[in-house]
C-alpha cells in the first residue's frame, strides 16, 4: 500500500479508469491546471484536451453536455468545483440525469459521475461552504457517495465509474490534503458502510469529514467509560441499513452526526429508520439552520466539535 493524499487518490483512480476505458472522459473548469484542489493533476498532460476537457464557466452547460455524452455512450466525470456552484446545474442533474432511465423505460442510461465537493471551506463564507447531500439523496435515480478517507476516495470513485446510473460524488472541501494508506486492490461496493471504530454502548453514524471528530469524540467517551461504535456510511444512497441496524440493535442507542444543517438533514432518515425498527433512544447532531459565517467565530458555530458530539452522546444515557 502507498501513502497518498485524498486528492492524489482520486486522481490515481480516475487515471486508471481512463487508461482502462477510452469512453471515460472528464470535463469542467480548470482541469488542465489540475483542478481547484489538485484532483486532476497530470491528467490532461497524459490524456490530452479531448478527454480532459476545460470548459467555459457555465455549470448548466457543463452538466448538460455531460448528460448528452453519457446518453451517447461515454462515461463522463463532471467537475462542478464545489457543490454551491452545482446549484446552477440543478435542472440538468435532477430533471435530466436522474430521470432519464425511468422516463424512457431503460432505453437510455446516464452513467456519469458528478463531483460536487461539499462542506465548510475555511473563511469561504455562505456561498462556498454548504453541505447539501440530503437534497440529492431525496431524488430518485441518483446515487449519492461521500468518501471520508484517501482509500475510500480511490475505491469509491472507481465504484462510481462502474455504476450505470448518475452518481453524485461528494468529496469534502477540507479533506483534499489529508493523507492515508491506499490499497489499489481494495474493492468497495456502493452502499457498503465501514465500522471505523468498534464499540458496545452506543452507535455513532456519520460520513465525510465528520468521521474524524466522531472518532475523536469516541476516544474522549472511552475515557469516561462509554464505548462508542463509529460507522462511516460512505454512501448515502444506497445506504447500509443492515450495518446500522445491526450495530444499533447491539448497543441500544444511536447518535447520527453530520456537518450539514440538522433540520431535514439525512440524519433524520437514519434516525427514523432505526427508531421505527428498534424503538431505541436516538439523537442527531448537525449544524444550526443558519448560513455559514465568514468570520471564524461565526464559522465555528456551524462546525462540528468533539464537545458537541460528546455532550449529545452522554444525553442518551
Q: Indicate the SS3 state at residue 16.
A: helix
138 is catalytic: no
| Cα–Cα dist 7/141, whole Å | 27
CA of residue 108 relative to chain centroid, distance: 26
Instruction: Quote the CA–CA distance of 228 and 306 in Å, as a whole number.
Output: 13
Euclidean distance between CA atoms 218 and 236, whole angstroms: 22
Sheet architecture: strand order including 254-261: 194-197, 228-232, 202-206, 254-261, 282-287
Q: CA 125, CA 48: separation in Å to the nearest integer?
A: 35
Residue ranges with strand state E in the chain: 2-5, 24-28, 52-54, 75-79, 113-115, 143-145, 167-169, 179-182, 194-197, 202-206, 228-232, 235-237, 254-261, 282-287
Q: Of 128, 138, 172, 258, which is the active-site residue? A: 128
| Residue 72 per-residue DSSP state | T
Please identify every residue annotated as catalytic: 128
Amino acid at each position: 500500500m502507498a501513502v497518498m493524499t485524498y486528492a492524489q487518490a482520486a486522481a490515481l483512480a480516475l487515471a486508471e479508469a481512463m487508461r482502462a476505458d477510452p469512453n471515460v472522459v472528464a470535463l469542467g473548469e480548470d482541469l488542465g491546471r489540475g483542478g481547484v484542489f489538485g484532483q486532476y493533476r497530470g491528467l490532461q498532460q497524459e490524456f490530452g484536451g479531448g478527454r480532459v476537457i476545460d470548459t467555459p464557466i457555465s455549470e448548466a452547460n457543463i452538466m448538460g453536455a455531460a448528460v448528452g455524452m453519457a446518453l451517447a455512450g461515454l462515461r463522463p466525470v463532471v467537475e462542478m468545483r464545489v457543490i454551491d456552484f452545482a446549484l446552477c446545474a440543478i435542472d440538468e442533474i435532477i430533471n435530466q440525469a436522474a430521470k432519464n432511465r425511468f422516463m424512457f423505460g431503460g432505453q437510455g442510461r446516464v452513467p456519469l459521475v458528478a463531483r460536487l465537493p461539499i462542506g465548510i471551506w475555511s473563511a469561504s463564507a455562505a456561498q462556498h461552504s454548504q453541505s447539501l447531500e440530503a437534497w440529492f439523496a431525496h431524488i430518485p435515480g441518483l446515487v449519492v457517495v461521500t468518501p471520508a478517507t484517501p482509500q475510500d476516495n480511490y475505491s469509491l470513485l472507481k465504484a462510481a465509474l462502474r455504476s450505470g446510473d448518475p452518481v453524485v460524488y461528494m468529496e469534502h472541501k477540507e479533506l483534499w490534503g489529508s493523507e492515508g494508506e491506499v490499497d489499489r486492490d481494495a474493492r468497495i461496493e456502493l452502499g457498503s458502510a465501514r465500522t471505523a471504530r468498534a464499540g458496545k454502548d452506543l452507535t455513532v453514524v456519520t460520513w465525510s469529514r465528520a468521521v474524524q471528530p466522531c472518532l475523536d469524540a469516541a476516544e474522549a467517551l472511552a475515557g469516561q467509560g462509554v464505548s462508542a461504535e463509529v460507522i462511516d456510511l460512505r454512501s448515502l444512497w444506497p445506504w447500509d441499513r443492515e450495518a446500522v441496524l445491526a450495530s444499533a440493535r447491539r448497543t441500544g442507542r444511536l447518535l447520527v452526526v453530520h456537518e450539514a444543517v440538522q433540520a431535514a438533514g439525512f440524519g433524520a432518515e437514519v434516525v427514523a429508520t432505526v427508531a421505527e425498527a428498534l424503538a431505541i433512544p436516538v439523537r442527531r447532531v448537525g449544524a444550526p439552520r443558519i448560513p455559514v459565517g465568514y468570520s471564524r467565530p461565526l464559522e465555528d458555530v456551524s462546525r462540528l466539535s468533539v464537545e458537541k458530539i460528546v455532550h449529545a452522546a452522554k444525553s442518551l444515557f
